[in-house]
């Protein structure tokens, strides 16, 4: 099945995500235009503001998009996760071209024309509306065009903060080592960018043509209004598609990897089987799932006790699974009013992985076997592993590992790919990862018991549990229901056999009579 | 012209525009651009400001319709200080023609000419009638030209439209800043002749800036020779030709020179 067949078979999801994408771009571009043009005009009137404002807009443009999302998330009112934060970030990116082209366009009006307008006794407002804006319109529109195309690109990153859009497919594809998914996201995004570019280009040329036949200055203004209306209508259509699932009984979140999506989907489908409506807000990166849970933007998501212990509650690493579970449970209840469900039955701890052929050739079984070979091996670790308290630093100390050069810091899903392709020799993956089998990797035993327990659990808001009785019932039914082998198999079905998570989960639930 | 201040002296009554010890010295400029200038422009005359680039001719013009305000002294238009005028009102009753016409490229010829009447809120029929009248006055067939855009005109045609636009609301005062400076010599001399004839018919007060002495002598009622922000000679064209003032002689020689060839 190639990328096009995949898109055809999943056209409903691709269309839905395209609509989300379009809505993000349309809304943020409209806001950027509504803000950027007046700001640009103001700058042409207040010369001393021009440099500082353009400098700020320039700096905003150079902030990498993921970093900008990172800055926005903790902000009150504008920040958070999901749609709103994504729009804020996109607006910030789109502002510079709009402001700069407005300034350039207005300043590009011939001096003699402005002089004549002034000498004829036109007021500043009349000069602006009848002379400067119409004459600057093509340049301003070119700025809007650039802003729109930038937005289409940047909006793919918005998936990382749960804002949906075509980036969802791209990120999923990266994680699952699946080029079809990446293309299924990237091709529509590229088409959108081309369509936006051509569409606004068309308005530009119509505007130029109209000028020849123009009888009133308002024609240009009317054109811009018409264009804005067209975008709004498109946005409305997009919104209609997007908001189908707006009002749901339960909003289920997941982190941004296959296993988390599978666990979330298990819970979601079990609830749906009991007649509840579910909104899925999957694939939230970093600690976004936690932030969303606490903020009440999702009601439940799967988590691991070790992650909760250290990343969220900031306790030091501990090794006793029972003690860790109890501590996490009582802390969540006290601090977040969140219930920690019973352990689902498996652990997903860090798996130190090497290529199978290397393991056989060098006779590697335990992590301590690595110590001697490490200076000739290159390591590549996810950002998560590099920064967390039970991650790289303590790990390399515990085993006395000294790799060749500094470990390369890369996206977790990319690190699997890098290992398989021989660009690095050691990575830290997840013990239940389906990719381990898919790519023929060998997991080395944690023989010094360095890594803390990572029992899979579901975290639920207490108010949701009280509101919905089936929520608790399902939680009890899932207690200890998934073994490590089973989880690895489910992961493999999705990552290795490239099957949709929803389908894999449906089979599993049926086989379990859930 | 109508409303006149009874307290004004007869001398002032006769002066449509009057400069009183006017200095224009914006901050950061070493020498004043206009230096204690006294000047009277009489009702109905065409006063030509003649001088080299940078002598302050254009600045003098811009002080009249309050595009600039004097840093010392006062400029009176119809007996009233320009700073006491509403700038917009003053400019709407002051026609202005500049070298490259400054026509609005996105307006048709008709709309360009109609600009001030439209701003003044004339009703549509009156505006279109006036546009036709003016285009004819400057020698352009309205049926042929009203719908064209400035980019479709020759330089001379553009300048005619510029003059028509300046005259549209029938202003008593006309400011012209090297209006024919960018035209080729043939077009230029035609349009100069037409302008002189037009001026005799319309009886406007005109301040006309040029660095071309032939043009100055041709259109002027009086010539003001400017140098470094001052007027060094102010007289009729005939007196200018007889003057022993060194700069006037220098200018005269540039005109005389071709006759020796």
Chain B 144-163, residues with CB within 8 Å of chain A CB atoms: 149
pLDDT at A246: 53
Q: How does pLDDT run across B53-111, given as a tens digit for each residue? A: 889 999 999 999 999 999 999 999 999 999 999 999 999 999 999 888 889 999 999 99
Residues 6+ apart with CB under 8 A from A416: A177, A427, A429, A433, A435, A439, A441
Is residue B158 assigned to a domain? yes
Is residue B141 assigned to a domain? yes
- Nearest residue in chain A measured CA to CA from B166: A120
Q: DSSP strand E in A356-446: where?
A: 379-382, 408-410, 426-430, 441-444
Q: How does pLDDT run across A232-280, given as a tens digit for each residue? A: 666 665 555 555 445 678 989 998 888 999 999 999 999 999 988 998 8
Tally of domains in chain B? 1
Q: What residues in B contact A115, CB-CB < 8 Å?
A: 98, 102
Q: What residues in B contact A130, CB-CB < 8 Å?
A: 104
B100–A120 C-beta distance less than 8 A: no
B96–A119 C-beta distance less than 8 A: yes
- Note whether ipTM > 0.90 here: no
Is residue B119 assigned to a domain? yes
A121–B102 C-beta distance less than 8 A: no
- Distance spanning both ends of chain B, measured CA to CA: 48
Which segments in chain B show pLDDT lower than 70? 1-13, 256-261
Is residue B250 assigned to a domain? no
Is residue B3 assigned to a domain? no
Query: Which structural domain, as residue segments, surrounds residue B148?
Result: 104-170
The answer to whether A181 and A169 have CB atoms below 8 angstroms apart is: yes
DSSP string, A231-278: HHHHHHHHHHHHGGG-S-SEEEEEESSHHHHHHHHHHHHHHHHTT--E
Q: What residues in A contact B89, CB-CB < 8 Å?
A: 121
Of A120, A123, A130, which is closest to B96 when you measure between CB atoms?
Answer: A120
Strands A338-340 vs A300-304: parallel, antiparallel or unpaired: unpaired
- Best CA proximity match to A92, nearest among A24, A20, A29, A168: A29
The answer to whether A90 and A151 have CB atoms below 8 angstroms apart is: yes
Cα angle: A110, vertex A115, A119; to 5 degrees: 155
Is residue B130 assigned to a domain? yes
A116–B104 C-beta distance less than 8 A: yes
* Among A119, A136, A217, the residue to mutate for chain B (most B Cβ within 10 A): A119
Q: DSSP strand E in A249-398: where?
A: 250-255, 278-284, 300-304, 338-340, 350-355, 379-382
Q: How does pLDDT run across A340-356, given as a tens digit for each residue? A: 999 999 988 889 999 99
User: How many Å lie between the alpha carbon of A46 and the closest alpha carbon of chain B?
Assistant: 19
The whole-angstrom separation of Cα A474 and Cα A478 is 6
Supply the DSSP symbol for A78.
Answer: T
Residue A502 has pLDDT above 70, yes or no: yes
A118–B119 C-beta distance less than 8 A: no
Mapping DSSP to helix (H, G, I), strand (E, B) and coil, where does residue A453 land?
coil
pTM beyond 0.95, yes or no? no
The answer to whether A378 and A408 have CB atoms below 8 angstroms apart is: yes
Is residue B162 assigned to a domain? yes
- Determine the distance from the C-alpha atom of residue A207 to the mean position of all C-alpha atoms in its chain, rounded to a whole number: 37
Is residue B5 assigned to a domain? no
A117–B89 C-beta distance less than 8 A: no
């Amino acid at each position: 099945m190639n990328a096009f067949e995949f898109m055809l078979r999943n056209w409903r999801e691709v269309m839905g995500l395209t609509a989300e994408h379009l809505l993000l771009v349309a809304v943020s571009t409209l806001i950027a235009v509504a803000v950027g043009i007046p700001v640009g005009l103001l700058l042409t009137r207040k010369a001393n503001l021009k440099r500082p404002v353009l400098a700020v807009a320039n700096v905003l443009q150079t902030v990498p998009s993921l970093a900008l999302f990172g800055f926005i998330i903790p902000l009150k009112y504008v920040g958070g996760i999901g749609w709103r934060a994504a729009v804020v970030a996109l607006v910030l990116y789109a502002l510079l071209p709009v402001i700069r082209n407005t300034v350039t366009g207005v300043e590009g009006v011939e001096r003699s024309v402005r002089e004549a307008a002034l000498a004829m006794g036109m007021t500043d407002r009349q000069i602006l509306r009848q002379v400067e804006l119409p004459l600057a319109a093509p340049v301003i529109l070119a700025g809007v065009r650039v802003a729109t195309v930038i937005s289409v690109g940047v909006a793919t990153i918005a998936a990382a903060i749960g804002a949906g859009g075509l980036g969802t497919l791209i990120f999923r594809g990266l994680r699952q080592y699946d080029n079809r998914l990446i293309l299924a996201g990237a091709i529509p995004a590229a088409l959108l960018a081309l369509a936006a570019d051509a569409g606004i280009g068309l308005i530009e040329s119509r505007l130029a043509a109209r000028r020849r036949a123009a009888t009133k200055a308002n024609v240009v203004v009317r054109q811009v209004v018409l264009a804005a209306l067209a975008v709004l209508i498109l946005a409305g259509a997009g919104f209609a598609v997007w908001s189908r699932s707006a009002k749901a009984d339960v909003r289920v979140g997941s982190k941004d990897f296959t296993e988390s999506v599978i666990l979330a989907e298990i819970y979601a489908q079990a609830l749906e089987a009991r007649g509840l409506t579910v909104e899925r807000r999957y694939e939230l990166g970093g600690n976004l799932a936690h932030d969303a849970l606490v903020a009440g933007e999702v009601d439940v998501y799967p988590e691991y006790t070790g992650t909760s212990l250290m990343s969220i509650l900031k306790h030091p690493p501990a090794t006793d699974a029972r003690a860790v579970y109890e501590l996490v449970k009582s802390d969540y209840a006290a601090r977040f009013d969140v219930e920690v469900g019973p352990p689902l039955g498996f652990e997903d701890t860090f798996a130190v992985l090497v290529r199978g052929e290397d393991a056989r050739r060098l006779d590697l079984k335990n992590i301590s076997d690595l110590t001697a070979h490490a200076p000739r091996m290159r390591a590549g670790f996810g950002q998560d592993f590099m920064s967390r308290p039970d991650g790289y630093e303590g790990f390399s100390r515990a085993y006395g590992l000294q790799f060749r050069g500094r470990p390369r810091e890369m996206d977790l899903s990319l690190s699997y790919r890098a290992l398989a392709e021989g660009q690095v020799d050691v990575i830290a993956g997840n013990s239940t990862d389906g990719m381990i089998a898919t790519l023929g990797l060998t997991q080395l035993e944690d023989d010094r018991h360095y890594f803390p327990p990572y029992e899979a659990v579901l975290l639920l808001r207490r108010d949701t549990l009280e509101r919905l009785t089936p929520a608790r019932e399902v939680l009890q039914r899932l207690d200890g229901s998934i073994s490590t082998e089973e989880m690895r198999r489910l992961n493999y079905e999705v990552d290795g056999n490239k099957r949709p998570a929803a389908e894999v989960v449906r089979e599993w639930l049926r086989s379990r009579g859930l | 012209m109508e409303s006149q201040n009874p307290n004004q002296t007869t001398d002032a009554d006769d002066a449509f525009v009057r400069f009183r010890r006017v200095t224009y010295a914006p901050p950061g400029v070493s020498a004043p651009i206009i230096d204690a200038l006294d000047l009277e422009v009489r009702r109905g005359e065409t006063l030509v400001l003649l001088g080299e680039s940078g002598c302050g001719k254009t600045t003098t013009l811009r002080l009249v319709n309050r595009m600039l305000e004097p840093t010392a002294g006062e400029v009176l238009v119809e007996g009233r200080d320009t700073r006491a005028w509403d700038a917009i009102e003053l400019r709407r009753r002051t026609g202005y023609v500049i070298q490259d016409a400054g026509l609005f490229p996105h307006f048709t010829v008709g709309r360009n000419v109609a600009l001030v009447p439209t701003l003044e809120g004339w009703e549509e029929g009156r505006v279109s009638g006036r546009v036709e009248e003016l285009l004819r006055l400057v020698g352009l067939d309205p049926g042929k030209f009203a719908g064209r855009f400035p980019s479709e005109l020759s330089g001379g045609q553009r300048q005619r439209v510029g003059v028509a636009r300046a005259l549209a609301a029938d202003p008593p005062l006309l400011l012209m800043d090297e209006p024919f400076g960018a035209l080729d010599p043939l077009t230029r001399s035609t349009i100069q002749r037409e302008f002189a004839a037009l001026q005799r018919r319309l009886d406007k007060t005109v301040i006309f800036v040029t660095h071309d002495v032939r043009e100055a002598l041709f259109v002027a009622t009086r010539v003001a020779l400017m140098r470094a922000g001052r007027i060094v000679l102010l007289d009729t064209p005939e007196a200018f030709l007889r003057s022993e003032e060194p700069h006037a002689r220098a200018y005269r020689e540039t005109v005389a020179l071709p006759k020796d060839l």
